Amino acid sequence: MSLPAAIECDDVLVVFDGPRRIRHQSGTRLDLWPDACEAEAVRDRIERGRPILVILGGPQAEATVLTEQFVGAPPALAQLVEAIARDLAPIPVPALDWLPHDVRDRGLRFLRASTLRVRRTPPLLRPTLSLDDRDITCPHVRFGHLSRVGVQTERELSLVVAHAFADVAPPRLTR
């Protein structure tokens, strides 16, 4: 059983971009988060100014799956696989391809800068999670870069969410 790519935490949608986006369904069937309905819900959430925290694992996120799991995979996922020569094949998971272009570009810039900082920092001095600077035009979408593999982020998630969106006013309902 795989962990979900997106979860709600204190009214914030938290998306774990990377291998968690590959969903294993009904035996050998694979799917890639988000599907059409989920993508529409994300776009709607962005347009309404509701908070989203995207946690990035790295620029080259991959997931290893069995060759037979590709049978019946959706075209978007099947296209990611260039060649399968062994029973276990790593699949690159495209970073942030589910976001609008301007937000995606900002997230990719943050990921590149954060990755470079991590590479230059001795392992013991690396923060577990780096958080981007709030964007003036889209303050309700934040990016975090998880620099350590195997860290249990879910336990501390509500504290991270509270910190990331502490001074973002909740959206106002209009009639």
Tens place of pLDDT per residue across the chain (175 aa): 467 899 999 899 999 998 888 887 666 667 789 999 999 999 999 999 999 999 998 655 555 555 555 555 556 555 555 444 445 556 677 889 999 999 999 999 999 999 999 999 998 898 889 999 999 999 999 999 988 766 666 778 889 999 999 876 555 555 5
Quick one: residue 29, left, alpha or beta (phi over 0 = left, psi -120 to 50 = alpha)? beta
Angle, alpha carbons 101-18-47 (nearest 5°): 35
**Model pLDDT, residue 44:** 96
**Model pLDDT, residue 111:** 93
CA distances from 132 to 40, 114, 142, 159, 163 (A): 25, 9, 6, 16, 12
pTM summary value: 0.79
**Model pLDDT, residue 1:** 45
The letter for the amino acid at 66 is L
Instruction: Give the Cβ contact number of residue 109 at 10 Å.
Output: 12
CA–CA dist 14, 37 (Å, integer): 17
**Model pLDDT, residue 155:** 74
Tokens describing residue 97:
């391809």
Q: Can you say how many angstroms the Cα of residue 2 is from the centroid of all Cα atoms in its chain? A: 14
Residue 141 pairs with which residues in a beta bridge? 52
